Amino acid sequence: MRYKLLGRSGLRVSELCLGTMTFGETWGWGASKEVSRAQFDRFAELGGNYIDTSVNYTDGTSEEFLGEFLKGQRDQFVVATKYTLTKPDATDPNSGGNSRKNMRQSVERSLRRLQTDYIDLLYLHMWDYMTPVEEVVRGMDDLVRAGKVNYVAFSDTPAYIVAEANTRAELMGWSRFIGLQIPYSLLDRAVERDLLPMAKQWDMAVMPWGLLEAGILTGKFLNKPAEATRLNADDVKLSEKSRNVVLEVQKIAQEVGRSMAQVAINWVRQQPKAQMIPILGARTLAQLEDNLAAAEWSLSDEQFARLDAVAKIDLGFPHGFLNGNPYVFGATYARIDNHRGNPL
């Protein structure tokens, strides 16, 4: 396992992150306590130190398991958790959302479950379109100053909100947001339009999830009819484009003698568009072992380009306009002589 500095910080984290949304069977699926422990131990044995959870994962079971697993070795790990979401049947209107009240209550709950007195990285889990940005930024900074949180980050939030938050933080001398957690895969590249460029501009680490698109990129749905559009739980049908992407992943997996999952993970891991630290989520130890083995090798430039081409999306305006329009910055527009300030 190799290590990276997490965004614009001095925090050293493993190049792969262990996701724990599968820790616990409270939601009717996931891993038992024994399997969760085995995953945690194997990840640590291979040098992994970066672990991702949330106050709401498996109704708190994920954090509770982690609290037990971390006993006696808490300081050796970088633990990230999130606040925002609540139980669907909650009756307290303030038990969810991005408010300072829910932020503080959630952090105290996470600290108790994790059996620790600090959180390494606190994410805002999901933007609620109601809480003022300055309330979030100042509230998180207060938690950092109180010593309960070391660093702060965003998850599943529009780029313009994250950019405003970091601008306010810099202007006011508050804690800067160093990370961004978003869905990203060969079959879901929408974040390339604004979120990835924003993250690179602000020197934020990107923690992508959904790398395998619920197993589609492992090839297990290749025999389904190639007619419908997208994922539907137990009856997945692939569009023609998605099928072509999966087939290319399969070809490269056969070329390198590796699993399709590792190929799909490495396409994300090797992305130059921003610093990438993929989050691995597995239900079994065997799945996790296979996913972790992606760090043992890399796609060649040619293989990366083939995947990039078959999965290409239209980035739309302004990207196409600025990058592909022959008139932009061309002879049609007056250019300015930098020395004299006169049009050429």
Rounded Cα distance between 245 and 253, Å, is 12
Torsion angles phi and psi, residue 156, rounded to 5: 50, 55
Does the annotation mark 57 as catalytic? yes
**Domains of the chain, start order:** 3-221+256-298 (3.20.20.100)
**pLDDT tens, 286-326?**
999 999 999 999 999 999 999 999 999 999 999 888 887 66
**pLDDT tens, 326-339?**
665 554 444 444 44
Query: What's the pLDDT at 344?
Result: 41
- Omega of the bond prior to 208 within 30 degrees of 0, cis? no
Indicate which residue of 57, 83, 151, 184 is catalytic.
Answer: 57
CB 304 within 8 A of CB 270: yes
pTM value is 0.90
Rounded Cα distance between 216 and 231, Å, is 8
Query: What's the pLDDT at 232?
Result: 46
**pLDDT tens, 186-236?**
999 999 999 999 999 999 999 999 999 999 999 988 875 544 444 444 566
CB 175 within 8 A of CB 151: yes
Query: What's the pLDDT at 227?
Result: 45
Query: What's the pLDDT at 328?
Result: 54
Query: What's the pLDDT at 222?
Result: 82
CB 232 within 8 A of CB 210: no
Mean pLDDT of 159-186: 98
Q: How confident is the model at residue 87 (pLDDT cuts 50, 70, 90)?
A: confident
